[in-house]
Structures are given as structure tokens and as C-alpha cells.
Amino acid sequence: MAFMTYKGYPLVRKGNDMYYGFMNEDFVVMLQAESLKDVDGVSVSQKVKFYQMSTDDKLNPIEAIVKNGERPSLFEALDVAYTWLSKANA
């Protein structure tokens, strides 16, 4: 089975939502493409919101969010998400 990774963490996509990180660690980051533009027939995100979330299944989704941010591109959002996960799951 092949899956996508970014800087060693898995990245799983469903529609405009993505989850970044290992679900068996304490935190993951959920990314949401809020605004898309068409570039030569390819949809490219213009605004990405992201949330660092606890993987504790006892928390409701709102309580699980510990940090949030917004960046103009997916790669900028993933760079911040990588830093968050590296620190939180160390």
C-alpha cells in the first residue's frame, strides 16, 4: 500500500480536508482548503486553515483543538504543522 508523506509524517486526504500525522501519537493536524483557484486545469489552494488536535477519543472535536492557524498555501500550512507535531509529539 502506498501513501503520501511529508517530512516523515503521513498525509491523508478526503475532499478538501487532510489529516497530517500519526493517529497513534498524542496530536495530529487537520488541514482544510478553504479557497481554491484553477491553474491550468488544476485546483490549487489559496487559503488553508489548520488545527492541531489531540487524538484523545474522550474529547469532543471542539475540545480536542489546541492550536489553529491559516496560511495562503498548502506547503506553508504543512511547514507550520510539521513544526507543531515535531514539538508536541517529541
Task: Name the band, by pLDDT with cuts 50, 70 and 90, for residue 50.
Answer: very high
Which tops the pLDDT comparison, 16 or 18? 18
Rounded to an integer, the average pLDDT of 65-71 is 95
**Element at 47 (helix H, strand E):** strand 42-54
Q: How high is the pLDDT of residue 2?
A: 56
Q: Look up residue 15 and give its three cell numbers.
A: 475532499
Pairing of strands 17-20, 65-71: unpaired
pLDDT reading at 17 higher than 80? yes
How many other CB atoms sit within 10 Å of the CB of residue 3? 7
Instruction: Please tell me the distance from the alpha carbon of residue 57 to that of residue 73, in angstroms, as a whole number.
Output: 30
Cell 502506498, located at residue: 2
Whole-Å CA distances, 28 to 23, 46, 52, 80: 7, 22, 6, 12
Instruction: Please tell me the distance from the alpha carbon of residue 64 to that of residue 42, in angstroms, as a whole number.
Output: 33
